[in-house]
Amino acid sequence: MGFSSFSFIITSLTKVVIIENHSIPLTQKLTQKYADPEGHFIIIIGHLQNQLTTLASVYAPNTSKQTFFRNFINKLSEISEGRVIVGGDFNTTLNTNVDRSQDILDKQKTTCSDRDTKHLIHHLKDEALVDVWREKHPLDRDYTYYSNVHATYSRIDFIFTKPTLLQYIHSAKIHYITWSDHDKEICVEITNALKEYFLNNTPTDTSLAIRWDAHKSVIRGILIKHASRIKRIKTEKIKRLSQKLHDIATAHKKKPPPDKYREIQDIRTLLIDTLSDKAAYAMCKTKYQYYEYSNKPHTMLAENREPFTPRMPYMQ
């Protein structure tokens, strides 16, 4: 479970990063790289699976999107080589009819969102880029974002590539998002923490590198707090389901009506699903620890190098 990340401008504005899995490495040094000064996109060029590939990660701003789309596509056209893969949050849909859960075509005036969509489609056509998920699901509806304000779902996150690469893509699926930058509570808390941190730590006090490294600890603390809250909720859910399963199973043993057995099966399924998530997390954590410490002078290595000494069983 090893990853490398690419982000070339270290500022408080950086909003995107490209993460590379060590099992699919960029086999040669990057031939070119570019990061948007405002932190809204990154473009890297290197050899992926022995083929020259351009990767771009995008986080479109909430305002001035038309200018952003033009600047991004112009830069992509200028430096891209080989295979082109673009992914990210574009903050607008491509087709209102199928990419939103609520039809807004009955509005008489053209909204700003419609204009943003037209500009994005125009630039995508200029670069001959296609929406991978839509190519694989031409008539389906699925969404990546829910707006509490408008009570609508929309698909604003995309992966674009050249039509010639579609033959190598067997499937495309939108998975459930467990951590989202659109979580209002977490988003507001992190934003306020960042503002306060950079306000209290001015360039005259510390260097840029120190401030950048220290700010990650601040954000990590907030995320750990929310992760602990989620873990506590899941633990309580497991206890509640286990107790409910025990009570119903005990009652069913005394007097077994048919409908109760079905309820037992449903609760058992919920409990297994919850425990499976916990087991999957434990496996990922173990893989990470072995990757991080297996070849380093660490407790894990020391324990593995100690000769095995069989212990004599005894009774106290």
Tokens of 130: 């296609």
Q: Which of 59, 99, 123, 157 is catalytic?
A: 59
Contacts of 261 (CB under 8 A, 6+ apart): 252
Annotated binding site: 89, 91, 181-182
How many of the other CB atoms lie within 10 Å of CB of 70? 14
Residue 226 annotated in active site = no
Annotated binding site for Mg(2+): 89, 91, 181-182
Helix (H, G, I), strand (E, B) or coil at 289: helix
Q: Which of 34, 143, 153, 182 is catalytic?
A: 182
Cβ distance 66 to 119 under 8 Å? Answer: yes
Residue 114 annotated in active site = no
CA dihedral 288, 289, 294, 298 (to 10 degrees): 150
Cβ distance 70 to 54 under 8 Å? Answer: no
Q: What are phi and psi of 190, to 5 degrees?
A: -65, -40
Cβ distance 79 to 61 under 8 Å? Answer: no
- In angstroms, the CA 138 to CA 110 distance is 25
Q: Which of 52, 59, 3 has its CA nearest to residue 29?
A: 52
Helix axes 112-126, 65-79, angle to 10 degrees: 10
Q: Which of 36, 40, 89, 131 is catalytic?
A: 89
**Burial readout 230-260 (b: 16 or more C-beta within 10 A, e: otherwise):** eeeeeeeeeeebeeebeebeeebeeeeeeee
Residue 34 annotated in active site = no
Describe the chain by its helix, strand, coil percentages, rounded to 5. 50, 15, 35
Residue with tokens 């107790």: 243
The residues annotated with a catalytic role in the active site are 59, 89, 182
